[in-house]
Amino acid sequence: MRTLITRTIEVVTFYCVLFAINYFFFPAWLGWMGVDPHPYWLPILVFAYRYGLGYGLTTGILSGGAYLVIAWFTQDKYLFEDTTFYILPTLFVIGGIYVGYVASKLNKRWQQVKVHEHELDDQFKAIKDELKVVKEINRGLEKRVVTRMTTLVTLYEGARKLESVHVEEIFDSLCEFISKTLEAEEVSLYLKKNDNWVLKTSFGLKDYHKIPTVIGLEEGMIGLAGHTEKVVSIRDQVINGAVQTSTLGDCLFAGVVRKGKDGPVLGTVAIHKIPFLQFNSATLTLFSFILDWVSRSLGRALLFDEMREQEILDPEFHVYSQTYFKNRLAQEFSRSKTYNLPLSVVFCSIVGLTGLTEQEKRAYFLVLSHFFRKNCREIDVVCCSSEIDMPFAIIMVTTTALECDQELSRLKGLYSKLELTSLSNGNIPALQFKKASFNSNDQFVVDMVSRASE
């Protein structure tokens, strides 16, 4: 309603100003008679364009009516008898309708454009907000990926160290590996010695961090973990109400490492400092998993030490030694001779090593030993041979001559698929087998070996 009144006042004011200008400044042309284009087109064009069809029709009627009224009082009456006199007032009405109609269409279209513009602005703002969120997510993902990559690298490096066959190397890398994996800041390893736990090594602990080097067998969290042979934490002790003064200040949680998965306890690993958010059940589960992993590695390394001490394994090629080959072949030959069991022995000869240095030969032999350890059957015994031109021998237990031929054919096929590069002498080594199987005419093991050598 207020808008209608305001617009009406604007129309009336405009016409009043137009009449005043006509009366005071151009009295000779009252009603603007004879002026072309006629000034009464101004309100039609202004208000029809501004407010649309309704005001175009209104201003057209007002302009036409004003033109006729002023002409009636100021001009000769005979003009009204001429039909052409009514053309201009009629054009005022028609022009107002037309301009108002076009303006209404344009205004409607303009409003649609403005609405669409607002919608696009809203979409643009939404996309900007979404882009901001996506960037934040990407930054978070990048941090997580970097963290995961760091974790993978840590696990890979730690896994390689834990797969060592040397016990001391495992002990040296254990605390660092656990620290990086669990994000623990202070880790220590105690080994069981007599009736005490003796500090072996630590990671993250400074010289001013005074931790005991010797702990009683059942003293503190470390002793509790060793005594119960499981992972224990200070949180569990508080929840269970079993925490004691002797336990406080020892460590946050600890677990045991064994000689093999189910072997006797060798020592305890203690976590002294870890971020608060990392001290949770998931960390304890991962800690337990790592300790099982380490226990298996320690069992394998200790077994390897024992075998090395007994000269069972060759330290360079990680297959059975020459001494073991002779003793084991003699045992299997005696068993075959007593119970008439099948037995085969194979010597592996390499062609194409002429002209190589001793170091190059040893490097190739190392590759070949890995090939045999990976591809031979579980019942086959891969050993180093004392023969110069035949570095490796295979004892095929309970294997007939036909089965031996089939197995050697399989090994040759696998060897041919290896992507070997030419050696410094320009050759790619070829693998040949010399074999012999037990028969009743063999009196001694040397008879069987001689036939294989031939």
Per-residue model confidence as pLDDT tens digits over 64-114: 888 888 888 777 777 777 777 788 888 888 888 888 888 888 888 888 888
CA 250 vs. chain centroid, Å, equals 37
Asked whether residue 284 carries a pLDDT value surpassing 60, the answer given is: yes
Q: Is the CB of residue 269 less than 8 Å from the CB of residue 175?
A: yes
Least confident of 153-167, 271-285, 404-418: 153-167
Q: Which residues of 88-106 are buried (b: 16+ CB within 10 A; e: fewer)?
A: bbebbbebbbbbbeebbee
| Of 342, 321, 329, 338, nearest in space to 398 by CA | 342
Predicted confidence (pLDDT) per residue in 380-400, tens digit: 999 998 776 788 999 999 999
Q: Are 52 and 103 in contact (CB under 8 A)?
A: yes
DSSP secondary structure string, 319-356?
Answer: SB-HHHHHHHHHHHHHHHHHHT--EEEEEEEEES-TT-
Residue whose C-alpha is closest to residue 63's, from 129, 135, 120, 14: 14
Do 63 and 15 fall within a single domain? Answer: yes
User: Are both 185 and 328 inside the same structural domain?
Assistant: no
Same domain? For 193 and 280 the reply is yes
Specify the pTM. 0.42
**Residue 383, strand partner residues:** 320, 393
Does position 245 have pLDDT exceeding 60, yes or no?
no
Between CA 8 and CA 55 the distance in angstroms is 9
Q: Mean of the pLDDT values across residues 21-30?
A: 79
- Rounded to a whole number of angstroms, the CA Rg of the chain reads 51
**In a shared domain, residues 273 and 178:** yes
Q: Which DSSP string corresponds to 69-124? A: HHHHHHS-GGGGG-GGGGHHHHHHHHHHHHHHHHHHHHHHHHHHHHHHHHHHHHHH
CB 251 within 8 A of CB 270: yes
- Of the residues 100, 128, 162, the one at which a domain ends: 162
CA pair distance 368, 392, nearest whole angstrom: 9
For residue 315, tell me if it sits in a domain: no
Q: Is 295 in the same domain as 370?
A: no
Domain tally, the chain: 3
Count Cα neighbours of 116 within 13 Å in the Cβ-side half-sphere.
Answer: 6
Q: How many CA atoms lie within 13 A of 92 on its CB side?
A: 25
Residue found by looking up tokens 């040893």 in the block: 362
Domain harbouring 206, CATH code: 3.30.450.40
Structural domain for 154, as ranges: 1-162
Specify whether 9 is located in the same domain as 152. Answer: yes
Give tens-digit pLDDT for 155-184. Answer: 666 666 667 767 888 888 888 888 888 888
